[in-house]
Amino acid sequence: MEDDEKYDYNAIKEVGRASYEALMYGKGLVKPGARLLDIAEGVESYIASKGFKMAFPVNVSVNENAAHYTSPLGDESVLAADAVVKLDVGARKEEYLGDCAVTVDLSGRHEKMIKACEEALAGAISMVRAGRKVCEIGREIESIATKHGFRPIKNLGGHGVERHDLHAGVFIPNFDNGDDTELEEGQIVAVEPFMTDGIGLVADGETVEIFQKRGFPQVRSGEAREIGMFIDKHYLTFPFAARWIQKELGHGDDFRVRRAIAELSYAGAIESFPVLVERSKGIVAQAEKEMIVEKDSCIVVTE
């Protein structure tokens, strides 16, 4: 964890509040027939209108997709009347990052799972304090999930949030994994229960729309160099969507952008984040809040 003196806690609270307000705005856009692209771009525009940048592309993940779905440019996918939608949103102010998520069940048939997920989040938050072992938080999440007849997703979980890095340091499991790492006073963490009526594991899907710059190796084509320099200037090492580049650079030809991203990825300059899919195609619910760890409790910043 970084030293407390390196954190601007007022900035963390500000970006957390902006993230939560954007999440609630986006929740209002989640309706049957709504285009996933309109939801993502609507939330991203809302965040920009408030003077913030994006911590990561808005995730609109449906049904068995647990996370990492953001629309490509021109995406005509719409929400079915029975969709279970995970909306994951984060604003950024300079190097400070927000992260929060909510699940909306348009069918009304999965409310029990969503309420169990929210109960698990509340139970986990009540345990957050300096000295708390992360496996104990995971045990609480798993206990609440199983009490209601669901499984936690074991290869997803919460995480530390540091300057410039949304997933840094500590990992907070959704079950008791035996990790006795203790939370530290002043640390920033996001608690993130995922639960399902499936087997409780996710795997990489075929769709990949989110990327992150990781290095600065040489690439051969001028097109890849152009896009690499654009990423360095505008997104730094924060996650970005392929559609952002297409819109900003006016590259209507999706193939050109994909080819450049593929070259940067092959060279080790870019990391890809595929959509995460529940392995048995079970429905997934997610809930997430970000908080500052205190001596005897925590301060939730995304509310």
Domains belonging to the chain, first-starting first, are 4-204+281-300 (3.90.230.10), 207-275 (1.10.10.10)
Q: Give the model's confidence band at 120: pLDDT under 50 very low, under 70 low, under 90 confident, else very high.
A: very high
88 noted as active-site residue: yes
Residues 192-213 have a mean pLDDT of 96
Range with lowest mean pLDDT among 86-90, 117-121, 165-169 = 165-169
Of 41, 64, 88, 176, the catalytic one is 88
Give the pLDDT score at 251. Answer: 58
First to last CA, the chain: 23
Give the pLDDT score at 137. Answer: 98
Of 44, 110, 140, 159, the catalytic one is 159
253 noted as active-site residue: no
Q: Give the model's confidence band at 167: pLDDT under 50 very low, under 70 low, under 90 confident, else very high.
A: confident
Amino acid at 83: A
Burial of residue 59 (CB within 10 Å: 0-12, 13-18, 19+) is buried
User: pTM of the prediction?
Assistant: 0.93
Residues 164-193 have a mean pLDDT of 94
Q: Say how far apart CA 90 and CA 16 lie, in whole Å.
A: 8
Contacts of 220 (CB under 8 A, 6+ apart): 263
- Which residue in 126, 134, 141, 128 sits closest to 196, CA to CA? 141
38 noted as active-site residue: no
Range with lowest mean pLDDT among 14-23, 62-71, 149-158, 250-259 = 250-259
Buried b (16+ CB within 10 A) or exposed e, 274-300: bbbbbbeebbbbbbbbbbbbeeeebeb
Amino acid at 38: D
159 noted as active-site residue: yes
Tokens read off for 111? 């409310």
**SS3 (DSSP) at 277:** strand
